[in-house]
A = this chain, B = another copy of it.
């Protein structure tokens, strides 16, 4: 039989990598829960149309699609937001608002694998649906920071760069851009942090031939938030409102205690067309081109996906870039499930006893194992115990033991003690 390879861009999770994945996903889960979100999930595949009708072209071009025996056109999910919209729509009248949901879906995209981008990955998704309050945006950002902080990433490691699509639209129109030029400008701005400065300058020249307009745009781009605030203080309401909203968002983030973790950055626009309010990306401070999370307010998206007209805000944070960042900083927790105790027999006549004790310890919740090798000597069994990373060994039948005694050996430091077997089995937690 031929050996068959894994498909490029997918990952095999051997136990050591699986432990990392579980640790990451459990961190997402516990952070979500303590911030008041509840978990949902959908199917791994949906009708193809769910993705082609509204997702950005970029995502629609990356679908793994197929036709089932019944002739249905289906696709593996490349993102979970369309599923979320479908599910919310189905139960829109019975779900209490605001809907604070999270998910940790496995997603697949048919793109070319490269560092930080795979064809299969996991993504933490947080969404608050049914509230148009700036507080909902603040909660999402806080929740992302709460997670990153909890795994050891400080404000020196990561930064949430925040802007507002609503504000940007007004400012661009104010300096002379027409409504129908905005999408072009968004696409341009979205690239600014990700490509070399000269390339960006060339692109800008090409897209905006008018030098006056270009200069105005460049001036706007270099604005600090304070500049912006003071320059528009007497601006008409349409401009003032989104800036004031952003200011309020910053106030809330300060109140929540994460002042050091965010900054205003007018370059943040997000590639997708559907954002309507605050937008943000989280970057590695040491590698400013590396984004690990993106999100924002998208008040029209659910309607566009066949859902109701209802305000929404949220983000997605993938596991691939996160894992690279944590690896580089030595912050990955890699503990594979540890064996509490390995039961060793010093003679085959004690083999059955070893099995019995193993099962009794398991019933009390301890991870207990023994060797399948009938007749293996103590040395061989100890070797196996250390191969399996056992914390302790219980040895039955050592020569120095009296009747009903066991020897408990700490495999980390080699210390050992003799214990009465019944006492040990009654309260193993006192010894293990």
Contacts and interface: CB of A to CB of B under 8 A. Distances in A.
Given A42-B12, A47-B5, A74-B7, A98 B372 contact: yes
A369 B2 contact: no
Contacts of A89: 3
Nearest to A1: B306
Given A33-B337, A146-B362, A356 B255 contact: yes
B46 A44 contact: no
Copies in the complex: 2
Interface in A49-88: 49-50, 53-54, 64-66, 68-69, 72, 74, 76, 83, 86-87
Contact of A1 (B3, B304, B352): B304
A142 to B, nearest CB: 7
B337 A47 contact: no
Contact of A96 (B19, B46, B53, B388): B388
A10 B41 CA distance: 11
A273 to B, nearest CB: 15
Interface stretch (A130-138, A156-164, A168-176, A320-328): A130-138
A87 B12 contact: yes
Contacts of A352: 255
Given A1-B53, A36-B368, A38-B15, A359 B257 contact: yes
B7 A367 contact: no
Contact of A44 (B76, B339, B363, B372): B76
Which of the listed residues A306, A360, A387 has the most CB atoms from chain B within 10 Å of its own CB? A306
A426 interface: no
Interface residues of A, number: 93
B69 A6 contact: no
A120 B385 CA distance: 38
A151 interface: no
A424 interface: no
Contacts of A96: 384, 387-388
A372 B207 CA distance: 42
A216 interface: no
A359 B31 CA distance: 12
A221 interface: no
B337 A39 contact: yes
A306 B4 contact: yes
B36 A367 contact: yes
Contact of A366 (B13, B34, B68, B146): B34
Contacts of A22: 39
Contact of A39 (B18, B69, B369): B18
A43 interface: yes
B305 A1 contact: yes
A256 B352 CA distance: 9
A27 to B, nearest CB: 13
Interface of A: 1-7, 10-15, 18-19, 21-22, 33-47, 49-50, 53-54, 64-66, 68-69, 72, 74, 76, 83, 86-87, 89-91, 96, 98, 100-101, 106, 108, 110, 120, 131, 133, 135-136, 142, 146, 252, 255-257, 303-306, 336-337, 339, 352, 355-356, 359-360, 362-363, 365-369, 372-374, 384, 387-388
7 contacts: A12-B43, A15-B38, A15-B101, A18-B41, A44-B44, A45-B108, A131-B372
